[in-house]
């Protein structure tokens, strides 16, 4: 294995397969990047939702644990694609959606990344300015907020341009520093915290409890699910021979560890609801403002540090994946150029959304809807991995990026209608069941007395429909490798050879892994 590149050396790889000799990351590195990206104020805001929905502290804790564990179980299997194929998950999805159908994963991750990058910059910027105002009297006006957002965004963009090694370095610091500051916060609020906070539902039999409980759990669950399209961005630097269980365990543990910021958000939200209730008004919630209002003076500096560290960590994990996926959809863009292009667009969106169009509230709704569409895609990826017995042809995965045609994953003109049909049907059906009161309620959103069933419906539909389509309309035997399919049938349909756009044959360079 070759020596790891220097920290300040700009990463040269895009979505092409990372050579085995250049893979020096470990499952623990994956843990640090994934946990670091979620160990922030943005996660605390999600942790406040159970209180915002009227649950007691203990009811909210139960919903939080259910959401974190459930989301972690859904996310963890997506970590196997990076080491296996040496590329990101959107490219790996070519095997199940077709070499053209993989753009679904690319655009889902692109939209999710921009949404969470915006949420990260806005929440961290607000916390930094608010803390600086309380600590040093810095004015709170549009100019100061714009400066905070701009500094955050440019710092994040710089880290992302340098690439994976620099991002990993940032998250090594962020994991320890942010965790320490959160633990310090427990001491800051220990005197005001009351685990007996009752909320508005005395028991589970109270009208409205189950919609609030399920909605809270699903909001928490959406946080780990949002990482599904990005795990391959980081895991592709892990050697292919790394035991699969270690990679899956690292991804699972990275989200279980987010209990720390979720608990912080839940506990402090209960204090805000008791001592500064206007900040928890469901029509205009302001968790960051409420946190500053109840914080002791000595904790203002840690709040500013949390804002800075958290904004850098979440922002880099979001924007790095954005640039990488954009370069995969438009291969003529290098990773660096794609990152700069999308970074500038994202920064423009942040300023437009905050100061011109007031999108800072609605962007959370947008992010939830995108995640609702991403969850069925994740199910198809995992079931595809199971039915293929983890076997992939890395050369055929790169057909789209090389502007070629044919190969094992060409299917019908580059589209696999089995995977595409299962994803599109389940995503549309899930959107019909979305129930976000005051934001978006789908046509079927009220069928369960106000409970949001979008994710369970999307996950179950994707699983059942995809397996049914694979059984009724078998894929070519060659896509399954030497051991054949698992759980489904295969056909003897021929697979076209890989050719250039002009029709010239391309010599095979790999037989699969």
- Does residue 127 belong to any structural domain of this protein? yes
Locate 235 and state its tokens: 């895991």
Please say whether the beta carbons of 102 and 253 come within 8 A: no
**For range 441-447, the mean pLDDT:** 88
pLDDT in tens, 18-59: 888 888 889 999 999 899 888 888 888 889 999 998 999 999
pLDDT number for residue 2 = 47
Instruction: Indicate the range of 126-140, 306-320, 470-484 predicted with least confidence.
Output: 306-320
pLDDT number for residue 172 = 79
Q: Which residues pair with 435 in a beta bridge?
A: 441
pLDDT in tens, 389-404: 999 998 999 998 888 8
pLDDT in tens, 63-76: 999 999 999 999 99
Confidence of residue 5 (pLDDT cuts 50, 70, 90): low
- Does residue 198 belong to any structural domain of this protein? yes
- Does residue 319 belong to any structural domain of this protein? yes
pLDDT at 187 > cutoff 70: yes
How many DSSP H helices and E strands does the chain contain? 21, 6
Instruction: Indicate the range of 25-34, 339-348, 406-415, 491-500 predicted with least confidence.
Output: 339-348
CA 363 to mean position of chain CA atoms: 15
- Does residue 277 belong to any structural domain of this protein? yes
Burial, 65: exposed, middle or buried (Cβ in 10 Å; 0-12, 13-18, 19+)? Answer: middle
Predicted TM-score of the model (pTM): 0.87
3-state SS, residue 453:
coil
pLDDT in tens, 126-158: 888 888 888 888 898 889 988 888 888 888 888
- Does residue 7 belong to any structural domain of this protein? no
Q: Which of 128, 131, 132, 130 is nearest to 148 (CA)?
A: 128
pLDDT number for residue 3 = 54
pLDDT number for residue 512 = 47
Structural domain boundaries, residue 333: 23-477
| 289 or 263, higher pLDDT | 263
pLDDT at 509 > cutoff 50: no
pLDDT at 78 > cutoff 50: yes
To the nearest whole number, what is the mean pLDDT of the chain? 86
pLDDT at 511 > cutoff 80: no
pLDDT at 508 > cutoff 70: no
Locate 127 and state its tokens: 């916390």
Q: What letter does residue 330 receive in the DSSP assignment?
A: S
- Does residue 448 belong to any structural domain of this protein? yes
Domain count, the chain: 1
CATH (domain of 35):
1.10.4160.10
Instruction: Indicate the range of 112-116, 134-138, 259-263, 288-292 predicted with least confidence.
Output: 112-116
Q: Which residues pair with 490 in a beta bridge?
A: 475
Please say whether the beta carbons of 268 and 260 come within 8 A: no
Could you please report the per-residue DSSP string of 368-403?
HHHHHHHHHHHHHHHHHHHHTTT---HHHHTTTTTT
pLDDT at 305 > cutoff 60: yes
Please say whether the beta carbons of 11 and 164 come within 8 A: yes
- Does residue 493 belong to any structural domain of this protein? no
- Does residue 183 belong to any structural domain of this protein? yes
Q: Name the percent of the chain lying above pLDDT 70.
A: 91
Instruction: Indicate the range of 30-34, 95-99, 451-455 predicted with least confidence.
Output: 451-455
| 124 or 461, higher pLDDT | 461
Burial, 3: exposed, middle or buried (Cβ in 10 Å; 0-12, 13-18, 19+)? Answer: exposed
Please say whether the beta carbons of 324 and 335 come within 8 A: yes
Q: Which residues pair with 412 in a beta bridge?
A: 415
């Amino acid at each position: 294995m070759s020596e790891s590149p220097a920290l300040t050396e700009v990463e040269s790889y895009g979505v092409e397969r990372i050579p085995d000799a250049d893979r020096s990351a470990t499952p623990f590195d994956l843990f640090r990047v994934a946990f670091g990206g979620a160990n922030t104020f943005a996660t605390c805001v999600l942790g406040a939702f159970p209180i915002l929905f009227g649950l007691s502290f203990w009811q909210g804790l139960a919903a939080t644990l259910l959401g974190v564990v459930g989301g972690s179980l859904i996310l963890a299997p997506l970590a196997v694609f990076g080491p296996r194929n040496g590329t990101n998950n959107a490219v790996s999805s070519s095997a199940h959606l077709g070499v053209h159908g993989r753009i679904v994963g690319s655009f889902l991750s692109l939209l999710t990344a921009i949404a969470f990058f915006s949420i990260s910059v806005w929440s961290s910027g607000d916390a930094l300015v608010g803390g600086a105002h309380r600590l040093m009297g810095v004015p709170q006006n549009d100019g100061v907020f714009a400066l905070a957002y701009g500094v955050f965004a440019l710092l994040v963009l710089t880290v992302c341009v340098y690439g994976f090694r620099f991002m990993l370095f940032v998250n090594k610091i962020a994991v320890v520093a942010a965790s320490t500051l959160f633990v310090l916060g427990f001491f800051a609020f220990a005197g005001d915290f009351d685990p007996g906070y009752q909320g508005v539902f005395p028991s589970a039999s109270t009208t409205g409890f189950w919609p609030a409980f399920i909605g809270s759990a699903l909001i928490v669950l959406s946080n780990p699910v949002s990482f599904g399209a990005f795990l391959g961005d980081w895991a592709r630097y892990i050697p292919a021979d790394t035991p699969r269980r270690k990679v899956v365990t690292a991804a699972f543990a990275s989200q279980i560890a987010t209990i720390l910021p979720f608990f912080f958000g839940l506990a402090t939200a209960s204090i805000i609801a008791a001592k500064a209730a206007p900040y928890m008004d469901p029509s205009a919630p302001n968790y960051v403002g409420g946190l500053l209002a109840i914080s002791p003076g000595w904790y203002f500096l840690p709040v500013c540090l949390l804002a800075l560290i958290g904004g850098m960590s979440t922002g880099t994990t979001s924007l790095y994946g954005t640039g990488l996926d954009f370069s995969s959809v438009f291969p003529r863009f290098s990773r660096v150029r794609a990152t700069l292009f999308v970074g500038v667009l994202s920064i423009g969106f942040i300023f437009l959304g905050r100061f011109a169009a007031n999108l800072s509230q609605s962007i959370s709704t947008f992010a939830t809807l995108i995640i609702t569409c991403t969850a069925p895609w994740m199910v198809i990826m995992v079931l595809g991995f199971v039915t293929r017995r983890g076997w992939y042809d890395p050369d055929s995965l790169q057909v789209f990026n090389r502007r070629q045609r044919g190969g094992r994953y060409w299917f019908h003109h580059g589209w696999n209608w089995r995977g595409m049909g299962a994803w599109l049907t389940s995503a549309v059906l899930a959107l019909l069941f979305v129930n976000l009161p005051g934001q978006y309620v789908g046509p079927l959103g009220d069928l369960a007395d106000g409970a949001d069933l979008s994710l369970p419906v999307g996950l179950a539909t994707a699983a059942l429909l995809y397996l049914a389509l694979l059984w009724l309309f078998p894929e070519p035997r060659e896509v399954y490798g030497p051991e054949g399919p698992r759980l489904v049938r295969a056909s003897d349909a021929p697979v076209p050879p890989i050719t250039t756009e002009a029709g010239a044959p391309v010599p095979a360079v790999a037989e699969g892994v």
